[in-house]
Structure 1
Amino acid sequence: MADLDPTPPADAGASLLLDDQLCFALYAASRAVTGLYRPKLENLGLTYPQYLVMLALWDRDELSVKELGATLQLDYGTLTPLLKRLEANGLLRRERRPDDERTVILTLTEEGAALRERALAIPGEIGEAMGLEDEEFEQARATLRRLTTNVTRHTPSRR
């Protein structure tokens, strides 16, 4: 799959053409994919970032805010309003650990756990709309994960 070749062309840094920018291809793809999610998630009463929180909790059922931030690569300032909204909607609980008041633990409510059943079809529907063969999908995901790891290592604010 040539579009996901991890080796940039020799002249990749020389062009300022929009179509030559990997960052724009990533941005456009991200917007297109999140746009696919929007109507499906509206039916669940979730935004895309809220859906990511719920995915993490459906996977583990209990996480600290710190663990969730690391998993989703989001900071407290971004997570706090998401979590407050999900709690207000009755989907999760935020409770301080009795033995460590600094640690906030997130757990699903019954309603939050039940929402998982309504969301089960979404990944398949999105995958189908992407139109990638299984091997292409796995290769794209692996390449994007590697790209994220490499770029994160070179981002000054993450060192």
Structure 2
Amino acid sequence: MKTNFKIKLIVFVSMMFFNSTLFSQNNTSIDVKYRMKPDRSVAKENLNFSFNVSNGNLIVSDYDFNSRKDYLIKFDKTFYDNAGLFNVVYSTDIVNHTLEKRPKTEIGLFIIIYDEKNGNLFGVKTVFENSDVETYLTPFGAKMLGKI
């Protein structure tokens, strides 16, 4: 009887460790150094996108202006775009957003772009209601686009 309990305990602890490891992979911090301009050239930026999906938030820190913005997010979907890049989409958590009475201007999509699934970070796209799409690039993404 004690051996059976020990086996169950080991399996339970192993599963908890495995699940927490998988869950922690949803948290990503991305430093971007460039932003696409309307003419497709790039401007220097100094931002960090900190996706903490387990807590349901995204913090965008602008180091040049020493500012920080917090968004309520949830996982939405993944897809490959027309360029063959792998996209992970997070959208505003509308329920919590509404409960906290946040402004409609914060409602949007936040897309992490990789060169391939589980690959190199290419950048982040943001799309807000009544706003243009903004594309931010990591040094890897800017180099792959021939922008630096």
Structure with the bigger RCO (C-alpha within 8 Å, sep 6+) is 1
Same fold (TM over 0.5): no
Q: TM-score, normalised by structure 2?
A: 0.31
Higher strand proportion: 2
| Structure with greater helix percent | 1
Q: TM-score, normalised by structure 1?
A: 0.29
